[in-house]
Amino acid sequence: MFCDPDFADHPAFEVRKPADQRVPFVFNSPHSGRYYPERFLRMSRLDEVSIRRSEDYFVDELFSGAVPLGAPLLMAHFPRAYLDVNREPYELDPRMFVERLPAFANSRSIRVAGGLGTIPRLVSEGAEIYRRSLPIAEAQARIANIYKPYHQALRDLLSQTHRQFGFAVLIDCHSMPASVRYGQDGIRPDFIIGDRFGTSAGRDVSEAAAEILSSMGYLVTSNKPYAGGFITEHYGRPLKGLHALQIEVNRGLYVEEHTLQRKPSFHQLRDDIATFISRLMALPDRHFFNYSIAAE
């Protein structure tokens, strides 16, 4: 039955919770999954290294310090090449499937055009994933069995947090290629804070996050070239006390991208991110209630 056996012996995702949630934060790592089902690998034309090019390598580990600090962490085990939950549920590429797509599918998004829809056609470096076209039922099964339960788990965490504290802050955790450059000077940011240009989080929140990282010696930019994806856009409702930030970490800081091996600097970066999380959690409540969401 399509994707049913793929995660029969391995959870598709998990929530790591502190014994007692002490802070109004929820952390999410949707692209760091690195369990590749055998059936999926047989469907792919890529080798076991090339197919990993879409991963946010070890980001779940980099942000794992959130849990002992009192916040839950939702983390994918399924790989992004298999299913991308940072998309609408049915952003599907008609070129990938044997049958016509259902009328409700969004086949015209920029992300679909780039081969990076809900069921990706390409890995991030542009290589085709599949040997042959897929039946629509394959996509529907992955969406029903993994995508929808994943988002239900995220909604539950945010709702519980909002009820407990009166507001909730979602930190969506990602990584970016070391080759990323920004601006006329071609600077290489260490971190990018995305808040959908001021619409997914209060300005005080995103500015504070950037200031904390900058004070630690990191080069930080905001929204360009990554402003946040579907998750940040969909869940960020600052007027309702739901703030969502996307944080991109430059992979050049901690991993050898060609071998996928952690650099010696990995542990220091993980400790620095834990310090960043602790300082962000210590912000007074006024940062989450007094803000302007006017886009710049």
Which tens digits make up the pLDDT trace of 160-208? Answer: 999 999 999 999 999 999 998 877 777 899 999 999 999 999 999 999 9
Integer Cα distance of 263 and 245 in angstroms = 26
- Asked if residue 265 is part of any domain, the answer here is yes
What percentage of the chain exceeds 70 in pLDDT? 96
- Asked if residue 294 is part of any domain, the answer here is no
Q: State residue 135's pLDDT score.
A: 97
Computed from CA positions of residues 242, 277, 219, 50, in that sequence, does the dihedral angle turn out positive or negative? negative
- Asked if residue 211 is part of any domain, the answer here is yes
Mean pLDDT (whole number) for 6-13 = 95
| Residue 2's pLDDT band (cuts 50, 70, 90) | low
Q: State residue 79's pLDDT score.
A: 98
Mapping DSSP to helix (H, G, I), strand (E, B) and coil, where does residue 208 land? Answer: helix
* Least confident among 24-33, 79-88, 102-111, 175-184: 175-184
Q: Is the pLDDT of residue 3 over 90?
A: no
Integer Cα distance of 180 and 192 in angstroms = 11
Integer Cα distance of 283 and 286 in angstroms = 8
Full-model pTM = 0.95
Using CB atoms within 10 Å of the CB of residue 262, give its burial: 0 to 12 exposed, 13 to 18 middle, 19+ buried. middle
Total domains, the chain? 1
- Asked if residue 296 is part of any domain, the answer here is no
Question: Taking phi first (over 0 means left), then psi (-120 to 50 degrees means alpha), and beta for anything else, what does residue 263 get?
Answer: beta
Q: State residue 288's pLDDT score.
A: 77
Tokens of 230: 């579907």
* Model pLDDT for residues 123-159, shown as the tens digit of each residue: 987 899 999 999 999 999 999 999 999 999 999 999 9
Helix (H), strand (E) at residue 15: strand 13-16
- Write down the mean pLDDT value for the chain: 94
Question: Taking phi first (over 0 means left), then psi (-120 to 50 degrees means alpha), and beta for anything else, what does residue 57 get?
Answer: beta
- Asked if residue 295 is part of any domain, the answer here is no
* Model pLDDT for residues 92-113, shown as the tens digit of each residue: 999 999 999 999 999 999 999 9
Q: Is the pLDDT of residue 82 over 50?
A: yes
Q: State residue 289's pLDDT score.
A: 66
For residues 32 and 249, is the Cβ–Cβ distance under 8 A? Answer: no
Q: State residue 233's pLDDT score.
A: 97
Tokens of 176: 């970016």
State the CATH number of the domain containing residue 112: 3.40.630.40
Integer Cα distance of 41 and 209 in angstroms = 39
Tokens of 282: 């210590």
- Asked if residue 166 is part of any domain, the answer here is yes
- Asked if residue 98 is part of any domain, the answer here is yes
Bridge partners, residue 76, by sequence: 13
Using CB atoms within 10 Å of the CB of residue 280, give its burial: 0 to 12 exposed, 13 to 18 middle, 19+ buried. buried
- Asked if residue 228 is part of any domain, the answer here is yes
Strand order across the beta sheet in which 191-194 lies: 13-16, 73-76, 25-29, 168-176, 242-250, 191-194, 220-222
Q: 44 lies in which domain range?
A: 4-288
In 3D space, the residue among 85, 82, 97 whose CA is nearest the CA of residue 40 turns out to be: 82
Q: Is the pLDDT of residue 293 over 60?
A: no
